[in-house]
Structures are given as structure tokens and as C-alpha cells.
Chain A
């Protein structure tokens, strides 16, 4: 089991970050990561030996998230949880950073699940474009155009965010 741990565990911080960005719920995100790791262990013999375990793990996590989204009616306690967690994230941070943090999260909320995943997996988790194409099961050219569109929407949402407004007022 040690070699399995040596391959899986280095990816756990990134998986938790991606899961949290999708859910904004500390416990829910870790449940998702746990589910992902359990699937990875169960399917350990079936992973592609030549494949990249990182991309494989993120793909499992995203697929679990999507099936969960399908099951769940989206109503919710999410806003509350988000507030709670954002307070936790930047308790001692300066107010501007906290504003940027809020803007980032609300900008993310304007994106579709796929746009969110592209933006997070490429821009934050550093997945290669080729791995991103495999994760979404689309050609690499389509990854490029969807990434551009996700960036455009995210940028526009950020530009209307409170941190930018504040900076303009200054």
C-alpha cells in the first residue's frame, strides 16, 4: 500500500483545493476527495500505466462531482458556508485581499461547471492542455476555445467586482 500512498498523497492538497473551489463547503469538499480516493483505490489496477495519475485523479473527482450535481437539487446552504469558510481563509488577511478573494469566488459562480473546471484545472492545478482534453473528453482545440471563453467570462466578472471598484474609487 505504501507505493500507492506515495503516488496518491502528493495530489491530495490539490484535490482538496479543487473540490473546495467547486463546493465551498469544507466537509463536503473533503467527502468528495475521500470518495475520489476510494474510487482511485478500487480502480487502481485499471488506471493507465502510461497515464498521468494526477490527471486521472482530477478526472475521477470531477466525474463524481458531476454525478452529485445531477442527483442533488441545488438549493441551499451554500452562501452561509461560503461566508464561514471565507472568514476562516483570511482571518488575518488585509481587507483588499479579502475583497479579491470574495470577487474570485463570486466570479467563479458566474461560470458553468465546465468553465469552472477548465479554469481551475488549467489555471490553478496546472493540468496540461492535453490532460485537460482527456479529462473533458474533447479535442485540444476545443479546450483552447472553451478556456478562452471561461477566461473572458471570469475576467468580466472580476472587473465588475468590488475590489476593482474600490481601486477605481481610490
Chain B
């Protein structure tokens, strides 16, 4: 028979929280009855824990205010209706304009959505179109000098950057370049897979803050964009929406992970 592992701090915490399986609970209980002082401390912890629970219970028992209902939050955000209205308006305007072909319409609708909704998406798609077509100079600084590239772009954008690792999606970093964006600068990182398909990550400061994850269909590539902490991100490629979403999620996770650890302030 294997001896029971010795009682640990984890057992005592789980005992206070009532999370031990019955056998272990009995064992800890016996141990505490043999260690009087410790037993009293644990008993006091249990009392304090239930006092805190009871004291705060009134708050969870309150009916939730209407402003916190998800439906009400969603209505106030109003993203979906506005978005569709804009697309409809674009299509309508195009219809007034008469013939011009589906492509002109697609460009117009795409530009209308991209331009007004997220300038970052429009810029990212246009930079994607221009530079992924380059065979000789697709990037300004190649991936061989990744450390230099990242340091340079971070300094110019005044924001700590990291080149996301997309190898699990089959994309390798080719390099990146600096681009003008309004009064500031933007960075474009380019990736390529074994089949030669290219993907770009576009970044720049974006004061609009806290924008949702958004899919934008451009003329010949599509993008996912979002804004986080005053910084706009766009991932553009000619791949299907589900694959692009997976890649965008990966970039998002990596950008979150590379943020400075959240240290609570001293109290």
C-alpha cells in the first residue's frame, strides 16, 4: 500500500474551501485535531471565509440593473445595424451611378466600409496590395535582421513591438517596413508560406481605442482588424475567413502575452 502524501498548504487551503475529496478531507481533519494550534487557525479561516461570503451575498442577490443586460449593451454599441446600413448605402449609391461592373461596386463598398469604419483596415489592405506584389523588394529589412527590425520599428512607432510567430499557421517572417500613416508612422510585417502566399501584419497608433475585432473584405484580400490600448492592428491575406481568424487570434494572443506583466500597484 502506498502511504498518503504528507499534508500540505494546498490541503489546508482546499480544506478551508471545502474542495477536498472525502478521504483526504478526513485525513486533514484528523491531522488538525492532533495539531491544536493549527486546527484553531484553520477553523478561524473557515469562519472568516463564511463571514465574508454572507456579508457580500446581498450584492449577488440584487436584481441586475437594466444597463448591464447584454442585449442593452449590444444595442448601445450598435455596431451591426450601422455597419449594414453603410454597406446598403454604398450599394444604393452605386446603383444610382449606373453601370460600372461588379468590381467597381465591390471596391466602393469595400472602401466605404473600410474607410469610415476603420482607417487602419483600409491602409493595411492598400499596403498589403502594394507590397505583397513586390518580388525584388517586398521588405525593407529582412527577417535575418529580426532583432534590428523590431527595435527600429518599435522606436519609430514609439510602441514596443514583437514580430508574431506564425509558424504554426505555416507562415514565416520575411521582414518588414516602415510606412507613413497620417501624421505618424505605421509598420508592416510580411510573412510567406511554403506555397508563396503572403500575409501582412499592419500596426500603428490608433486613438479611436477599444474597437472590436472586425472582418473587412477588400478588393483582393481580406483583413481582420482590432484596436487595443490605443494601438491598431490589421492582419491581411488572401485566405479564407476562418483561417484568417485563426491567424488573427494567434497574433492577438501573442501581442497580449508580450505586454508587460500586469503588476498590481502596492496598496
Minimum C-beta distance from B58 to chain A (A): 5
Q: How far is the CA of A30 from the CA of B13 in the complex (A)?
A: 31
Q: Are B13 and A148 within 8 A (Cβ)?
A: yes
Give A16 to B12 CA distance when docked, in angstroms: 29
Task: Tell me the complex Cα distance, A112–B59, Å.
Answer: 22
**Chain B interface, >50% SS class:** helix
Complex Cα distance, B44 from A103, in Å, reads: 14
Would you call A5 and B71 a contact (CB within 8 A)? yes
Contacts A42-B211, A124-B52, A155-B48 given; indicate if A12 touches B68 (C-beta within 8 A).
yes
| 1/0 contact string of B59-95 vs chain A (CB within 8 Å) | 1111011011111011001000000000000000000
The SS class assigned to the A binding surface is: helix
* B262 in contact with A137 (CB, 8 Å): yes
| Set B51, B211, B249: member contacting A45, Cβ < 8 A | B249
Flag whether B137 is at the interface (Cβ < 8 A): no
- Assess whether B252 is interfacial by the CB under 8 Å rule: yes
B261 and A137 contacting across the interface, CB-CB below 8 Å: yes
Indicate whether A37 reaches chain B with its CB closer than 8 angstroms.
Answer: yes
Q: Is B210 an interface residue (CB 8 A)?
A: yes
On whether the beta carbons of A13 and B64 are closer than 8 Å, the reply is yes
Once the chains bind, are B262 and A124 in contact (CB under 8 Å)? no
* Cβ B73 vs Cβ A37 within 8 A: yes
What is the CA–CA distance of A152 and B68 in the complex, to the nearest angstrom? 35
Known pairs A13-B60, A34-B68, A148-B13; A66 contacts B262 (CB<8 A): yes
Structural contact, A159 and B62, CB atoms closer than 8 A: no
In Å, the complex CA distance between A66 and B211 comes to 21
Would A34 and B67 count as touching, CB distance under 8 A? yes
Q: Which of B235-265 contact A (CB under 8 A)?
A: 245, 249, 252-253, 261-262, 264-265
Assuming A4-B70, A45-B245, is B45 touching A100 (CB within 8 A)? Answer: no
The interface residues of chain B lying within 8 Å CB-to-CB of A41 are 70, 73-74, 77, 212
- Whether A155 and B70, one on each chain, are in contact in the complex, defined by CB atoms closer than 8 angstroms, is no
| Among A12, A124, A159, residue most surrounded by chain B Cβ atoms (within 10 Å) | A124
Q: Which of A9, A108, A113 contacts B264 (CB 8 A)?
A: A113
Chain B's nearest CB lies how many Å from the CB of A155?
5
Query: CB-CB < 8 A to A154: which residues of B?
Result: 48, 52
Interface residue A160 (Cβ < 8 Å from any Cβ of B): no
Find out whether the CB atom of A124 lies under 8 angstroms from the CB atom of B62.
Answer: no
Q: Are A34 and B73 in contact, CB atoms less than 8 angstroms apart?
A: yes
B45 contacts across to A, CB distance below 8 A: 151, 155
Q: Which of the residues A20, A38, A43, A144 comes within 8 Å of B56, measured between beta carbons? A: A20
Contacts of A141 in B (CB 8 A): 10
Task: Choose one: B17, B58, B67, B73; the contact of A123 (CB below 8 Å).
Answer: B17
The 8 Å CB contact of A144, one of B10, B44, B58, is B10
Partner of B55, one of A9, A63, A69, A104: A104
- Cα separation A120 to B49 with both chains bound (whole Å): 9
Flag whether A147 is at the interface (Cβ < 8 A): yes
Contact with B along A5-49 (1 / 0, CB 8 A): 100110011101100110000000010011001110111111000
Contact assessment for B265 and A123 in the assembled complex, using a CB-CB cutoff below 8 Å: no
5 smallest beta-carbon distances between A and B, as pairs: A5-B70, A13-B60, A17-B59, A42-B212, A113-B264
A-B contact pairs, 8 of them (CB 8 A): A5-B71, A30-B67, A33-B68, A66-B264, A104-B52, A113-B264, A155-B48, A158-B51
Q: Which B positions have Cβ atoms within 8 angstroms of A?
A: 9-10, 12-14, 16-17, 41, 44-45, 48-49, 51-62, 64-65, 67-71, 73-74, 77, 210-213, 245, 249, 252-253, 261-262, 264-267
